[in-house]
Amino acid sequence: MAALPLNCLGRTLTPFLYPQAALNSALRHLRPRAQRCLYSTTVSSDSSANIETSHLNPTPDNFSLTPFVDRCILTLEAGSGGHGCVSFVREKYIEEGPANGGDGGSGGNIYIQAVRGETSLHKLARRRLIKAGRGRNGQGKMRGGERGADVVITVPIGTIVREISRYDPIAEADKSERRKAFLGVKDTPEEVEETEGHYRKDKWIVFPGTIPSQLARMHFPALPKSRKSPLAALEPEEPLWLDLDKHMETPMLLAAGAMGGLGNPHFVAPNKERPKMATRGDEGKKLSLQLELKILADLGLVGLPNAGKSTLLRALTNSRARVGNWAFTTLQPNVGTAVLDDHKGRPAVMKRGRDGQLRENFTIADVPGLIEDAHLDKGLGLGFLRHVERAATLAFVVDLSVGDAVATLKLLWKEVSEYEALRGRELNAETERRFVTYKPPGQGLQGEDDGYDEPAVLNTSPDFLPELSGTPISSKPWFVVATKADLPETQKNYEALESYLAEVNAGAQPHPSGRKNAWKRKIHAVPVSAIKAEGVEVIPQLVMDLLEE
């Protein structure tokens, strides 16, 4: 103990108080920095059973499970407008003052914002219906109503928003008017009567205490046109199709609130100085949306069940993913962040990301294991392959202690590339379906031979295009992590894998994906023992190099 250099002891843990901790800290200092798990040097024969439980070899109940939902359907309702007010000036010596009812406040808007730190859609999935606040009614003395409260929906980065349906009362009214104008249909006398001169319960507010017989005698002006909120110009084009793949500093408008009703001063006319009516606020628009989260990690782990993916995630990050010696321990994706520092506050790897920013960390997505025919939705396959689809780089995790590593790698690639082909076919079929076919005039709306046809819109399909992933999976940079290298008799398996990859690199063997334009600049194999955290320290540097490509 006395022979240990004092400067290598922890500053707060003195040997006097914590002899064991000080000893450990000193030993860590004496160990060589890079502990690359090279086969010749660090193969050991003890199995995981002999390794005592630790962060990397936890007991099956030592894990933290964060709620995770990656799809949900939401109904959004923008705020309705408040009603206008019917009121008159009332002061001493002014018995019958002029109208002074304020306008109703506009309804609240609905915004969406993708933020760092959110990882799942479970909170939204639980809510289902999200409503913005209604505008308050106008008040006397020309006081306008307060605006309704806005709502900001925060979603994780990587969320795709698709519109299922929408109901916009103003657009509907507009459409039917345009239709009438096109067909040259005049309003029927009853309709004219209903809009001008008569009371409509759904449109007008009258002076409190007005009795029906007075109502029948009252003359109402023509209904003012519904007003669009000025903010509506900022709404994205319909149908909504958003891929929120970046952190957003400011929220983005999805649905603007409706306008409030007009107070009674709006209806003052030369022969009518004290109008006793105001209009009701408009109804807010309703949107039904489908949200889908496709994790955007820097590194995606692909492997068979029980290969050791979650252990590898634990070794590289602070994650507490569940680890267990059985297949399908992981049932939902885990995302961990690997911090690139040397535990002294300085970066261990200095790299700039694609946006030119210095990277301090990178994210790793551990998804449930793939089995044969995962692309046909066997096992937990298809649901989670889409999280792999958007990872920037891939690590194929191969268990050296079970079966032929080369065959396993080929099987994994087969599943991944079948999935890619499936997506490609879906996309082609959808593109064909969306070609607009010419319809001669006269074959307009079904069942009505009125010659009016909706203007041709390209996006009329109720279900939308599957989104284009940036890069095809086979073009992503990838490497192989050969894990469980601490187990006996895994060396041969690793050597076979290494020589196979050397042949692929040299072009003597085809790429395991079977595609021509697949990425194969220099495919690395990294032997590791995740359970002992040996060999894993080369992975951050490798990932950062690949991310730069």
Binding-site ranges for ligand GTP (CB under 6 A): 47-48, 57, 303, 305-311, 323-325, 327-330, 368-369, 483-484, 486-487, 529-531
Give least dist CB 65 to Mg ion, A: 12
Closest to ligand GTP by CB, 304 or 340: 304
> Binding partner of residue 513 among ligand GTP, Mg ion, none, CB under 5 to 8 Å per kind?
none
CB of 363 to ligand GTP, least distance (A): 17
CB 345 → Mg ion: shortest distance, Å?
A: 31
For residue 366, the minimal CB distance to Mg ion (Å) is 6
β partners of residue 91: 94
DSSP-derived 3-state class of residue 459: coil
DSSP state, residue 201: T
**Interacting stretch for Mg ion, rule CB under 5 A, among 56-64, 200-208, 327-335, 396-404?**
327-335
**Residue 319 touches which member of Mg ion, ligand GTP, none, C-beta under 5-8 Å by kind:** none
Nearest residue to 232 via CA among 383, 109, 98: 109
Q: Which of 363, 370, 373, 375 is nearest to 399 (CA)?
A: 370
Given Mg ion, ligand GTP, none, residue 531, with its beta carbon under 5 to 8 Å by kind, binds ligand GTP
Q: Which of 358, 362, 344, 242 is nearest to 293 (CA)?
A: 242
**Residue 328, contacted partner among ligand GTP, Mg ion, none, CB below 5-8 A by kind:** ligand GTP
Report whether the peptide linkage leading into residue 19 is cis, meaning its omega lies within 30 degrees of zero.
no
| Segment interacting with Mg ion (CB under 5 A) among 4-12, 16-24, 237-245, 305-313 | 305-313
* 3-class SS of residue 72: strand
Query: What Cα–Cα distance (Å) separates residue 499 from each residue in 270, 307, 502, 505, 544?
Result: 95, 21, 5, 10, 25
Nearer to ligand GTP, 74 or 323 (CB): 323
**329 in contact with Mg ion (CB under 5 A):** yes
| CB closer to Mg ion out of 251 and 333 | 333
Please spell the DSSP secondary structure of 12-71, one letter per residue.
SS-TTT-HHHHHHHHHHHHS-S-----HHHH-----TTTSPP-SSS--TT---------E
| 47 vs 541 by CB, closer to ligand GTP | 47
Q: Which of 87, 159, 264, 310 touches Mg ion by CB under 5 A?
A: 310
Is position 306 an interface residue for Mg ion (rule: CB under 5 A)?
A: no
State how far the Cα of 345 lies from the Cα of 329, in Å rounded to an integer.
34
Q: What is the DSSP string of 324-378?
A: -SSTT---S-EEEEEE-B-SSSSBSS--B-TTSPBPSEEEEEE-PPP-TTGGGT-
The nearer residue to ligand GTP, 264 or 329, going by C-beta atoms, is 329
* Shortest distance in whole angstroms from residue 313 CB to Mg ion: 8
Report how far residue 433's alpha carbon sits from residue 410's, in angstroms, rounded to the nearest whole number.
34
- Cβ proximity to ligand GTP, 484 vs 524, nearer residue: 484
Q: Which is nearer to ligand GTP, 80 or 490 (CB)?
A: 490
330 near Mg ion (CB under 5 A): yes
Distance CA 192, CA 200 (A): 12
List of residues contacting Mg ion (CB under 5 A) = 309-310, 329-330
